[in-house]
Amino acid sequence: MNRIRYRAGVHYSNSYLLINNEHEDPVYKGNGYNEYGVSVGFGLPLVDNRSLINLSFEYNKIKPGGINMIDEQYFRFTVNYTFNEMWF
* Assessment of whether the complete model's pTM goes beyond 0.75: no
- Band (pLDDT 50/70/90 cuts) for residue 29 is low
- Band (pLDDT 50/70/90 cuts) for residue 12 is very high
pLDDT at 65: 72
Average pLDDT (68-87) is: 87
Say if residue 21's pLDDT is above 70: no
What are the strands, taking DSSP E only, across the chain? 5-14, 33-45, 52-64, 72-82
Say if residue 1's pLDDT is above 70: yes
> Are the CB atoms for 43 and 7 separated by under 8 Å?
yes
Distance in angstroms (rounded) separating the CA atoms of residues 63 and 7: 25
Distance in angstroms (rounded) separating the CA atoms of residues 6 and 57: 12
